[in-house]
């Protein structure tokens, strides 16, 4: 059984600091074992972290995301890559999270430094497959990522929501 874990400012500060030094600008803190049937984690994220549009195809892979600190832009896409919904997920804001059913293309944009997210979905861990990545968006590390990330961030400038 995993150790008792408090979701406190000490953890939040450590995660934000580690995310800032991580090349991917994010850091996970798992509250589960990889083989557990329910995966729960706190993720520290910094602006500039690229979370490519993706979906989870397995019927048991609904995903719940809650903003614990900071602000995120959530983009929901059609199969063709058109934005069909966008929301701000902001700790203490009007909307703090989302429960995503399987099969929905989605992406997050980190809009504030030291943002923290709680994520919950069914385990065990399975890497995202090619069929779950959006064919119309660049994969992490591709040269097109900076331009695409700037476009995603631009969806949340004042007046764009």
Q: Burial letters for 116-152: b for 16+ Cβ neighbours within 10 Å, e otherwise?
A: bbbbbbbbeeeeeeeebbbeebbeeeeeeeeebbeeb
92-123: per-residue pLDDT in tens? 999 999 999 999 999 999 999 999 999 999 98
Average pLDDT value for residue range 10-36: 95
Average pLDDT value for residue range 65-85: 98
User: What is the model's pTM?
Assistant: 0.93
Q: Give all domains of the chain, ordered by start, each with its CATH number.
A: 9-154 (2.60.120.10)
Q: Is the Cβ–Cβ distance between 132 and 80 less than 8 Å?
A: no
pLDDT higher than threshold 60 for residue 1 = no
What's the rounded Cα separation, in Å, for the pair 130 and 118? Answer: 25
Torsion of CA 92, 95, 101, 104, to 10 degrees: -120
Q: Which tokens is 28 given? A: 């996970």
Average pLDDT value for residue range 70-89: 97
Closest CA to 114 of 30, 25, 46, 65: 46
Sign of CA dihedral 28, 67, 150, 46: negative
**Alpha-carbon distances, residue 15 vs 19, 24, 84, 111 (angstroms):** 6, 13, 32, 17
């Amino acid at each position: 059984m995993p150790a008792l874990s408090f979701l406190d400012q000490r953890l939040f500060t450590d995660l934000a600091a580690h995310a800032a030094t991580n090349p991917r600008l994010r850091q996970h803190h798992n509250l589960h074992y990889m083989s557990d049937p329910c995966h729960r984690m706190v993720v520290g994220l910094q602006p500039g972290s690229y979370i490519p549009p993706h979906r989870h195809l397995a019927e048991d892979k609904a995903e719940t995301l809650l903003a614990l600190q900071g602000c995120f832009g959530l983009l929901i896409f059609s199969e063709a890559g058109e934005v069909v919904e966008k929301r701000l997920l902001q700790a203490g804001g009007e909307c703090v999270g989302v429960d995503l059913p399987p099969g929905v293309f989605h992406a997050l944009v980190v809009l504030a430094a030291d943002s923290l997210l709680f994520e919950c979905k069914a385990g065990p861990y399975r890497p995202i497959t090619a069929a779950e990545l959006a064919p119309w968006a660049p994969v992490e590390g591709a040269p097109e990522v900076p331009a695409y990330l700037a476009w995603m961030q631009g969806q949340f400038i004042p007046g764009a929501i």
